[in-house]
Amino acid sequence: MNILITSGGTTELIDDVRGITNHASGHLGKIMAEHCLKEGHQVTLVTTKEAVKPEKQANLTVVLISDVASLMETLKPLVKSHDVLIHSMAVSDYTPVYMTDLDELQTVSDPALLLTKKNTEKKISSNSDVQVLFLKKTPKVISHVKEWNPTIKLVGFKLLVDVTKEELFSVARKSLINNKADFIVANDLTEIDAKRHHAYLVDETNETLVTTKQAIAEMILKRVSHD
């Protein structure tokens, strides 16, 4: 199969030297790519400069992106030419619009007016004691995947922090339905460390637990191969 994997985390620039980052090392994406390659598949890995990556090898193409806009533009054609998308990248849900100081915020009649402004400085000055950063929602990349290619198998990811299993599964199922995913890999940051990575493969009816990154990779490939 032609398997498309996203990994790492996007960074949305505030100015030329600062950005908002979603932490993601890329380790899981690397292991998934290596497992798919070992099993004889073609892999395209869409990731970031900062993320860890597999060694260069036959049947592996690596494409680097930085922010949500570049991810969107890069993924659209790739989704059309692949059989499976394993979308593990931590995608920023907000992007900076305008950064200002408390003075400007206190003098404006409605703070919403500042959403139409833009910073012209290339490096925002650090003179003020307080800065106020306005952010707007980014487009939901995963929600477009089945529009772009209705037959692609779509594996989504959902990371929450310190929630109950009920909440984790409920949020995963919402994503499953909203994004027409085939299944969602749901995980909780409190259950991930250097040694273990608890994750639940969630579909309409079941939740299957695995406990390491290697097991996540194996379970995903098995499911997309047989479904």
Binding site for a second copy (CB under 8 A): 11, 14-23, 50, 90, 92-94, 102, 105-106, 110-112, 115, 122-123, 126, 128-137, 159-162, 189
Report the residue number, 134 or 148, with the smaller CB distance to a second copy. 134
Report the residue number, 162 or 227, with the smaller CB distance to a second copy. 162
Least distance between a second copy and beta carbon 157 (Å): 12
Least distance between a second copy and beta carbon 199 (Å): 16
Q: How far, in Å, CA of 151 to CA of 183, rounded? A: 14
Q: H or E segment at 3? A: strand 2-6
Q: Give the three-class secondary structure for 82.
A: coil
Q: Would you say 37 and 61 are in contact if contact means Cβ atoms under 8 Å apart?
A: no
Q: What is the CA radius of gyration of the chain?
A: 19
Which residues have CB under 8 Å from 54's CB, separation 6+?
A: 30, 33, 34, 37, 45, 60
Report the residue number, 50 or 218, with the smaller CB distance to a second copy. 50
Least distance between a second copy and beta carbon 16 (Å): 5
Least distance between a second copy and beta carbon 168 (Å): 12
Q: H or E segment at 42? A: strand 42-47
Report the residue number, 6 or 149, with the smaller CB distance to a second copy. 6
Q: How far, in Å, CA of 219 to CA of 65, rounded? A: 27
How many other CB atoms are found less than 10 A from the CB of residue 9? 18
Least distance between a second copy and beta carbon 2 (Å): 30
Report the residue number, 2 or 21, with the smaller CB distance to a second copy. 21
